[in-house]
Structure 1
Amino acid sequence: MTRRVAGTALTLALLVTPLLGCTDEEPVTAAPTPVPTVTPTPKIPTSRNLVRYVSPTGNDQHRGTLEEPWRTLAYALGRIYAGQVLFVRGGEYHENLDHVSLHSGTEGKPITVLPYPGESPVLVGSMSLNRPNYWLIDNLDVTGDPSSAHPPRFMVKLIGGRSWTWENSEFRDTGSRANVLITGFGVDEPAGFDFSGNCLHGLPDPPTKSTNLFLGTMHSGAHGTVARNTIFNEDDQPNLRIGSGAGAPNRVNVIRNTIYHGSLGIDVRGRPHRVKIIRNVVGGSTAPAQIRFHLGLPHGTSVNNNVAVDAAQLLRPEVRKIVHGTGNLVLSGNPKFVDTSRCDGFRSDLDALIPYGAVGQ
């Protein structure tokens, strides 16, 4: 995953201190301004004791310092506390992290996980995090383990939690049902989550049923944001699945994502509650409509100011009668993306796409 300048600047600051042509589906109207999700604000540690390190060449018997880093992410993630920063050294971590017991951060003292400056860590395997509270994970890529004969059902599983952020990372090549699952815990989690600036791609061939991002069951108090992600695949699989027959998410804003290719852009099931689908670029799939709603009336869910590209329609006419939506457009021609096989290849010279998607203004 291409490292973001903002994330690198933050990393350096944290490290230096302790060390020293279109047709309209609907008339175009302004989309409502989404309420921003409250996410942790990293603070520069004032003590070396607040900074820990993990490295593929470390040892879990070490102290977790720069000179003596830990070895595994499973060990390191369970041993950082409110206000601490974990720097992840570059290289591959071959691990399956199953329901790691996490300490909680606070609003003033979040727990932060960052790559060591100039390095690119990759988890090869899987990760399941249970109830991360005030956590920020930035630039930690995850890829499926091709040698695993029995991969877990979801490559990355995020269960509940409050005010957590996972951003600027690449999730690819799962061998199971999804690259990433975000699902609920109790009646009010996840609350205030932010999954943004990521790239998801690479799914198994059918008959394995899979998707890039799966938003699972969430109850009345849950809420969060999925924003500015690039989601694509060349396989006959849907890219984003919102809900299932077992339940659906609640109050999730799906904003400014670019979703391309596959069998379907967005697959909506299970009657989601007040999900807002706003200013996304969706297209290039083999389906007749890029967003599909299954039987049942969604509760307060809306589809506003999105653009379908390389497609005949965004929503079927019968769906437009029951789902609130205005300002949706269709660009039936080629969107002129630079390279649809790369995370950084979804820039377009078309002015019409500037207000939409992960890389628009």
Structure 2
Amino acid sequence: MSNLAFRANIQRLGGPEVIEWVEEPIPVPAEGEVTVRHETIGVNYTDIYHRTGEYPVPVPTGLGVEAAGVIEAVGPGVTSFNVGDRVVYGGRPLGSYSTARTMPIERMVGIPDDISSEKAASLLFKGLAVEYLIRQCYPVKPDEIVLFHAAAGGIGQIATQWLSHLGAKVIGTVSSKEKADIALSNGCIHAINYKTESFPERVKEITGGRGVDVVYDAIGKDAVEQSFQCLRPRGMLVNYGNTSGAPAPLDFKILQRNSLYVTRPSIANYASTRAQIEKASVVVFDMIRKGVIRSDKPLRYPLKDAAKAHSDLEGRKTTGSVILVP
């Protein structure tokens, strides 16, 4: 067992090229901390927001919010975990892009014996995001019509699988024929290529002019205004990301026309306590166990190729979950 860790670090904000690699001693766990040797590391668009400054973080800093591994050391006061336990975590402090790390246990849960570390790392954090989006922000009911942007992405695939299981009718937007096929295979009833079609017009055609009950959007600037056009009266827009940039300031007259709702949620407000995280993780693990949500072939990159993973994710060259392997 090495007492050194290989980890990603950034000294400044910017593109994938700012990611540097350092080798540092692994701190001895303090009160309420454990040391985890990583087996699989999840890559999320949140990591890109941190790297670019879209989500402000002090630099220098590590990168990454999600990983699964095995506990190698336990600090004073930790009674819920033991050396040798398999665990997965999601959230701050940043630093999961590493071979090992010492960190607090607040956002950490044990991995059930019947679920692999790869599945846990590639599905849990995204699954927790989907859980609060479709069960708490807007509790989707059977037969409701949902528009989900980036339906072939990591969160999009999990969401469309879960929504289909709930009996919702899901319309997905995608950027290619290949991604349309993926969206349809995961439960979408229609997949709209937003590069070749007007998605508001197609939504009106599909719904007979009614509109959808809810739009889930992680695109931001390039999608928000048109997404409002897709909603039925008193429908809701849930904007949870800005891959194309921050939307323009909201004109409340847009909401007034059809009495629309809009929310910009954060997982920090829906899973802010250990009890909330554990409760939601039980639900997500059950969905994984039943095969409702799945990532049969997550896209794998060696840990040292994290910059390449970021570049591909930003360039929309990926589908489904993306993981790093130490």
- Considering fraction of residues, name the structure with more helix: 2
How high is the TM-score relative to the length of structure 2?
0.27
How high is the TM-score relative to the length of structure 1?
0.25
Higher relative contact order (CA 8 A, sep 6+): 2
- Considering fraction of residues, name the structure with more strand: 1
